[in-house]
Structure 1
Amino acid sequence: MTDGLSGRLRNSTRARHQALETTGFATAMLAGTLPLDRYVGQLAAYRVVLEALEGELTRVTCPSVASVWSPDLVKLPLVERDLHHFANRGTAPEPGPAAAEFAQEIHRTAATEPRELLGILYVLEGSTLGAMFLYRYVTEAYRLTDGNGAAYYGSGDRTRWAAFTERLDRTLGEPAVQERVVAAAERAYRHVALISGELSVGLDSPAAV
């Protein structure tokens, strides 16, 4: 029995996912030495990306996308809540150019083949599962309490993820469409790596490429 789309996505992007774990940003976060402005900088970058992605997913009329996309996948309000928290504490870095480039990729994808947006969504929704593991490191490093400043990192949910991947597998079974969605996910990982690379400048480990 062959893998469904979610299995193909997992296998095809595994190496890119592992590479992200070796960036200076990731290793510093695990060591508890990531500067606060880098953590908030990632949130600022993801705000740009999520605003583009969730906006496009909400507007698209493609039946396949509508069958997979669900309001419970929305993360933009969580990132904005975190950014508001840190802005009130005087930390409000501007996102680097990689975030805008990713947003442009999302808008192009929506205009040409909306189903490919689901590959990008797979990457960003999947990142919240990793954030579940990192949540403790973030809250300890920046002394965050009651979820303040860590709403996005605390948003992972395995039940939601399982429902999302089940919808992906059920809705997108055509091999040619799956290939395009996998390719979109790989492009998304490349953009995430560029964001991580910007945030890793001056830290110990080399950025993923």
Structure 2
Amino acid sequence: MTDLLSGRLRNGTRAWHQALEGTGFATAMLAGTLPLDRYVGQLAAYRVVLSALEAELARATCPSVTSVWSPDLVKLPLLERDLRHFAATQGAIPEPGPAAEEFAEEIRCTAAAGPRELLGFLYVLEGSTLGAMFLCRYVTDAYRLTDGKGASYYGSGDRTRWAAFAERLDRALGEPAVQEQVLAAAERAYRHIALISGELSAGLGAPTPEHV
């Protein structure tokens, strides 16, 4: 019996997930000491990444991708809403570091060479919103955000949506060799996220995951 892809992805990327929880960015967020510009900087970096990923997923014609991708997974408008809020209240938005554009470029190259691997990237980004559900209260308390303003992306996690996404993923990608490709793509996504987190952790005093 072929293992379900969602389980392989969960188990295969667990070490990356745990390493990211120990970054300066993550530990400062949990402590309520993360500077606002680092939080906004993450939103700006993810805007670059999700702009590329969602555009490539939307235009993909590969049956595996079209059977998994769904409009309810779109997050870019939420990031745009948050960034508009901070532009209005704080002024200039921090420019993302190079890691965000490097991830976006890999997304575009992957879409051309192996579009099914985009689903590995999507697994990581969609999964991150589940963790954001837990972190959202830290964000709203630290920056005194009200009525969801500035926390639309962090408040977007949905377990029902995640379960439906995982079910579609398992149904679409059952072939072991394809699963290996998607798992490798998810690991590449985590490496890029680690680089983004490293840029945002500079000067915050905790180690950055370079390899797991």
Contact 1:48 1:100 in 2 (8 A): yes
Task: Name 2:167's counterpart in structure 1.
Answer: 166
Task: Name 1:143's counterpart in structure 2.
Answer: 144
Cα distance in 2 for partners of 1:7, 1:206 equals 28
Contact 2:25 2:201 in 1 (8 A): yes
> Which letter maps to 2:58?
T
> Which letter maps to 2:106?
E
Task: Name 1:185's counterpart in structure 2.
Answer: 186
Task: Name 1:49's counterpart in structure 2.
Answer: 49
Superposition deviation, residue 191 in structure 1: 0.1
Cα distance in 2 for partners of 1:164, 1:138 equals 26
Contact 2:97 2:196 in 1 (8 A): yes
Cα distance in 2 for partners of 1:96, 1:112 equals 26
Contact 2:52 2:107 in 1 (8 A): yes
Equivalent residue of 1:38, what SS? helix
Which portions of structure 1, spanning 4 or more consecutive aligned residues, are displaced by more than 4 angstroms? none
Contact 1:20 1:208 in 2 (8 A): yes
Deviates more, 1:150-159 or 1:91-100: 91-100
> Which letter maps to 1:105?
E
Cα distance in 1 for partners of 2:2, 2:69 equals 24
Deviates more, 1:58-67 or 1:1-10: 1-10
2:177 paired with 1:176 = yes
Task: Name 1:31's counterpart in structure 2.
Answer: 31
Contact 2:79 2:152 in 1 (8 A): yes
The superposition leaves residues 111-135 of structure 1 with CA deviations (integer Å, 9 ceiling, x where unpaired) of: 0000000000000000000000000
Cα distance in 2 for partners of 1:180, 1:208 equals 22
Contact 1:56 1:110 in 2 (8 A): yes
Cα distance in 1 for partners of 2:209, 2:132 equals 18
TM-score normalised to the size of structure 2?
0.97
Equivalent residue of 1:140, what SS? helix
Task: Name 2:128's counterpart in structure 1.
Answer: 127
Cα distance in 2 for partners of 1:2, 1:129 equals 26
Superposition deviation, residue 208 in structure 1: 1.6
Cα distance in 1 for partners of 2:97, 2:85 equals 20
Task: Name 1:77's counterpart in structure 2.
Answer: 77
What percent identity do the matched residue pairs reach?
82
Structure 1, unaligned runs of 5 or more: none
Contact 1:40 1:91 in 2 (8 A): no
Q: How many residues align?
A: 209
Contact 2:12 2:183 in 1 (8 A): yes
Cα distance in 1 for partners of 2:141, 2:174 equals 43
Pairwise mapping of residues 6-17 of structure 1 onto structure 2 (< 5 A)? Answer: 6-17=6-17
The superposition leaves residues 145-166 of structure 1 with CA deviations (integer Å, 9 ceiling, x where unpaired) of: 0000000000000000000000
Superposition deviation, residue 3 in structure 1: 3.0
Superposition deviation, residue 58 in structure 1: 0.3
> Which letter maps to 2:85?
H
Superposition deviation, residue 2 in structure 1: 5.2
